[in-house]
Structure 1
Amino acid sequence: MRLLVPFCTLALLAGCTHENGDAAVGFHFDEQLFRQDIETLSSDAFEGRAPTTHGEKMTLDYLVSAFKSMGLQPGPAGSYLQKVPMVSYTASEQQQITLAGLPLKYRQDVVFSSHHDVKQIDIENAPLVFVGYGINAPEYGWNDYQGLNMQGKIAVILVNDPGFAGPTSGKFNGKAMTYYGRWTYKYEEASRQGALGAIIIHQTEPASYPWAVVQHSWTGPQQDLAEANPQPRVAVEGWMTLDAAKAVFAASGLELQAALDRAAHGPMQLPLEQTATIKFANNAEYGESYNVIANLPGTAKADEHILFTGHWDHLGKDDSLAGDKIFNGAMDNASGVSGMLAIARQFVAAAKAGHGIKRSVTFVVTTGEEQGLLGSRYYADHPLYPLKNTIGVFNLDSTNVYGRTKDFTIVGKGKSELELYLTAAATLQQRQVNAEQHPESGGYFRSDHFSFAKYGVPAVFGSSGQEPIDEATAKYKEQMQKRMKGCYHNVCDEYQADWDLSGALEDLAVYYQAATMLGNSNARPGYYEGTEFYSLRPAAHIKL
């Protein structure tokens, strides 16, 4: 069926205008096409859409065909594809892991991999050092590595940052995770410190996901960018369960909880006086993956671009599993990609009706997000359109399947002026705009927009709110959430024919309207003072 978003009609009747913007134009989102795209991209035929697989080829063909049929233009080199050189590292399932004299089981107790092109990892009796949160943050007066020589040693690290352990302590950003709390940072910093290896202690609450996610996401082939001059990286990186960590600390004559408490109060280093032996076969295979690029030139400022991003990839399939082996990734992120296609169709329809916007709109559908934002990282490092002329980035990741809401969520709210446009569009739907409920999960750093934020390009990640529009929707949401529980990065993230996508369609309308307002303006949004990216592109004091 077709859904006419009500607020657009109201905007037309009211002659809705914004500073430096044109009147809003009514538009349709075709729910049937939206559903069809989600169902197709997440079908078993696409094999979980892992990069460098047959599933990738099917996905690329589908997306390129869709953008071509709309009439969108390819990237500046004349292709809809941006090549992303990648390498896939696969650690053997047979691993010999001994920490503090305790033999531990791969997948059950620990997960290890290596992002080095070596056939064999053979670490014998490497000293274990607990380095608290593993953070070196001068602006917070915090350095867990101060004066410590990590050569030949393995860092044992807590997930998240000290603000999580003490939300009212004044440390870091309180409950809201900083980038220092992300697992990617932990490995990066341990590498900069010259460590031989890094092991993160998994805790469900500060990590914001259960051990099952680690088991599925950090095992099997692990993709990375195949860079000509790679940054230094630890020889092995991994995770261990909380129970395994307790046992390791006990074998060292220590209590883990006491160490956690100390780590929350200040930087710390604690040699465990124990060693690690880690041995497994390793394989590296080089290949190419691709971002998909499609462009709708602006009518007056074609050299200025508004980007929509979202990742096409998921986890592929795991032949070691019994029963269902395919990680279909319907919500994450067939739904987001399908939303991008829906938004693209609206911009094309508006342009054909004589309502094209002044700035260009470019769709960047990325690869390798699940492996560490690889596709967006590569694009940001090798932009097809200059980042200085990239006005803003709207990111779609896992759209709403739980029905309409009274509110709209901006993840990491308070960072950039780009949020003003989302707020204005959501207000037209009479929806309240809120920050995410769990900022401790570090959502702002976990999807493709972050790759652009690091360069100072204003980038936002929005989603449906938490308050259902009515009691019937609330009841449906409760039932569907029970059905979908545990499906994040699991084989049960599959398309459901009875998903209520009305809320998702309203969210797409928010994105479309926000980009239209920005596209017809002369404003260049920036980051607010006090945020991590203010110095890169300061706020321009925009008023809508």
Structure 2
Amino acid sequence: MHATVQAPADVGLSTQTLKDVTRTLASDEFEGRAPGTVGEEKSIAYIAQRFAAAGLEPGADGSWYQDVPMVELTPDPSMTLEIAGGDAPLTLEYKRDMAVYTHRPVAHIDIADSDVVFVGYGINAPELGWNDYEGLDVRGKTVLVMVNDPDWDEETLSGPFGGKALTYYGRWPYKFEEAARQGAAAAFVIHDDQRAAYGWNVVVSSNTGTQLIVDDASESAPEANAIGWISHDAARRVLAANGQDLDALETAAGKKGFRSVPLGLRLTTRIDNTMRRIKSHNVVGVLPGAKRPGEYVMLTAHWDHLGHCEPVDGDDICNGAFDNASGTAGLVALAEAYGKAGPADRTAVFIATTGEESWLAGSEYYARHPIYPLSRTAGGVNLDGLSIYGAARDVTITGVGRHEMEADVARLARQQGQSVEAESMPENGNYFRSDHFSFAKRGVPMAYFANGQDLVEGGKARGEAAARDYIARHYHAPSDAYDPDWDWSGAIQELTLTYRLTRELADSSAWPNWTPTSEFRAIRDASADER
């Protein structure tokens, strides 16, 4: 039996605002909202205007904008990867076979005759007794690593790496960081549609052409000089060049005790970047607290998208209507609701971040240089894509089992007639892929939830089909465009839950924590004295 879905309580949320803001930000006039472009100028001015109209105050030291210094790196697309030492030399081509780049703000990267090593999943997890680098010296070498983690194909959430739920060890940023800690000169992830949970087209649209990185030396994560992706077919050819079978190595790499395999191959590549330093911006608005203005609750959504991208049927603007014009529209609608209700006890901070599509750049910069102390931030919610398929009977918490606010999400969801269901695709590792992660890893409990797939109209079959269709056809593609026929009733459910959760926290004296087993618990505990 399903719970009856009740009409969300009227907290002043405007469906018209959702339509207007999403349609505007996702229009061709905004050119896909890439940071450092005319599209950014139009986007941030529009968001600041909507924040002001909602009753917020400028939240960045008297300005609406927090400057985020970034470096734009545009590689020469004629680059290749040359593989020597096998039966015959191989040449891997940019976009077709590989997507290679660097996150170092330099004009040139040279990798010459670097020994190539297959290191399985590229994981060093001493607490799990797992080390793919054990007994291996990869200093100055190139490592090939598999995406995801060893128990990715489990049907359940049981297993040393959480079963089918992706852990941070399975995410490609971790693999680049660990390769650098091991001294590798270059690290390339082998793409696979199932393990990555998206196709090669997403790799190309997100990792080729101009890349944006934060121009900030503080807390910079170490990475190898050259990083990127190799297609599964290209990786198969590389390994076969010296008599190795990719399928056999992948199977072996999933077993504890796997030993990495030097391939007897040498890799050469050169990255030639055109560099441009730009200044992007987070848009920050606040509603000062009435009783404890020095304590904060945070609401975030990223305004940026990919700008001009790989064309499909002649369309080269990735408008990002769902991702994330809709979430930004939700942030504006929440600001309006807060403005109508008046100040809470704590200060509500609304941040429309830049550079989420560029390695969470805007939220990462804010987290490194917070305008409002993270130790005095009680918690928050991040919005990244609102429901556009209508009302749902259920709510899904992404990254379940992490923080104490989950119980509040469940309680409030039940009050509006929705059950809380298990995350439908934990294998996607969504908790590590949006702006809340920049704050979470610094101890701030951040909730990330959305309507589930049990839609009132069409049930789970329609919900699951819609999710698959979006990933396959629209994610990071020009077809993620505004549709006037979208049903916003599900978005109102999500935003009502967000409003009630954050407003309840803003009117309380509670300091939510992470669960005792969370990797972020110690950081939160250490900040208690500052409160």
Question: In 2 relative to 1, CA 416–482 (structure 1 residues): closer, same or farther, beyond 3 Å?
Answer: closer
Deviation digits for residues 12-39 of structure 1, max 9, x if unmatched? Answer: xxxxxxxxxxxxxx42322122101000
- Structure 1 letter corresponding to 2:36: T
> Quick check: 1:86 aligned with 2:70?
yes
- Partner SS state of residue 173, structure 2: helix
> Quick check: 1:431 aligned with 2:418?
yes
Contact persistence 1:91–1:114 (CA under 8 A): no
> Quick check: 1:214 aligned with 2:203?
yes
Contact persistence 2:306–2:357 (CA under 8 A): yes
> 1:11 maps to which residue?
none
> Quick check: 1:146 aligned with 2:134?
yes
Alpha-carbon offset, residue 481 of structure 1: 6.7
> Quick check: 1:422 aligned with 2:409?
yes
Structure 1, 273-282 or 250-259: larger mean CA deviation: 273-282
Identity within the alignment, %: 43
Distance 2:459 2:267 in 1: 55
Contact persistence 1:133–1:157 (CA under 8 A): yes
> 1:129 maps to which residue?
117
Distance 1:262 1:484 in 2: 30
Question: In 2 relative to 1, CA 476–393 (structure 1 residues): closer, same or farther, beyond 3 Å?
Answer: closer
Distance 2:520 2:17 in 1: 38
> 1:441 maps to which residue?
428
Contact persistence 1:311–1:448 (CA under 8 A): yes
Contact persistence 1:117–1:283 (CA under 8 A): no
> 1:176 maps to which residue?
165
- Structure 1 letter corresponding to 2:226: V
Contact persistence 2:165–2:429 (CA under 8 A): yes
> 2:233 maps to which residue?
243
* Structure 2 residue runs without a partner (length 5+): 1-5, 527-531
* Structure 1 residue runs without a partner (length 5+): 9-25, 540-544
Contact persistence 1:410–1:435 (CA under 8 A): yes
Alpha-carbon offset, residue 113 of structure 1: 0.9
Contact persistence 2:311–2:317 (CA under 8 A): no
Structure 1, 269-278 or 326-335: larger mean CA deviation: 269-278
> 1:50 maps to which residue?
34
Alpha-carbon offset, residue 303 of structure 1: 1.0
Contact persistence 1:528–1:538 (CA under 8 A): no
> Quick check: 1:458 aligned with 2:448?
no
Contact persistence 1:421–1:517 (CA under 8 A): no
Question: In 2 relative to 1, CA 195–82 (structure 1 residues): closer, same or farther, beyond 3 Å?
Answer: same
Contact persistence 1:132–1:158 (CA under 8 A): yes
Distance 2:454 2:310 in 1: 40
Q: How does 1:23-102 map to 2 (within 5 A)?
A: 26-75=10-59, 77-100=61-84, 101-102=89-90
Q: How does 1:312-391 map to 2 (within 5 A)?
A: 312-318=303-309, 323-351=314-342, 356-391=343-378
> 1:278 maps to which residue?
269
TM-score by length of 1: 0.90
> 2:283 maps to which residue?
292
Alpha-carbon offset, residue 324 of structure 1: 0.5
TM-score by length of 2: 0.92
Contact persistence 1:403–1:473 (CA under 8 A): no
> 2:212 maps to which residue?
223
**2:484 corresponds to which of 497, 505, 517:** 497
- Structure 2 letter corresponding to 1:149: D
Structure 1, 167-176 or 89-98: larger mean CA deviation: 167-176
- Partner SS state of residue 401, structure 1: coil
Q: Which stretches of structure 1, 4 residues or more, deviate above 6 A after TM superposition?
A: 319-322
Question: In 2 relative to 1, CA 473–150 (structure 1 residues): closer, same or farther, beyond 3 Å?
Answer: closer
> 1:14 maps to which residue?
none
Question: In 2 relative to 1, CA 489–42 (structure 1 residues): closer, same or farther, beyond 3 Å?
Answer: same
Distance 1:202 1:502 in 2: 37
Distance 2:295 2:375 in 1: 9
- Structure 1 letter corresponding to 2:500: Q
Contact persistence 2:64–2:283 (CA under 8 A): yes
Q: How does 1:469-488 map to 2 (within 5 A)?
A: 469-471=456-458, 482=469, 485-488=472-475
Alpha-carbon offset, residue 477 of structure 1: 8.3
- Structure 1 letter corresponding to 2:118: F
Structure 1, 44-53 or 71-80: larger mean CA deviation: 71-80
Contact persistence 1:91–1:280 (CA under 8 A): yes
Distance 2:514 2:260 in 1: 35
- Partner SS state of residue 164, structure 1: coil
- What is the RMSD of the two structures over their aligned residues, measured on CA atoms? 2.2
Alpha-carbon offset, residue 200 of structure 1: 0.3
Distance 2:83 2:301 in 1: 39
Contact persistence 2:312–2:478 (CA under 8 A): no
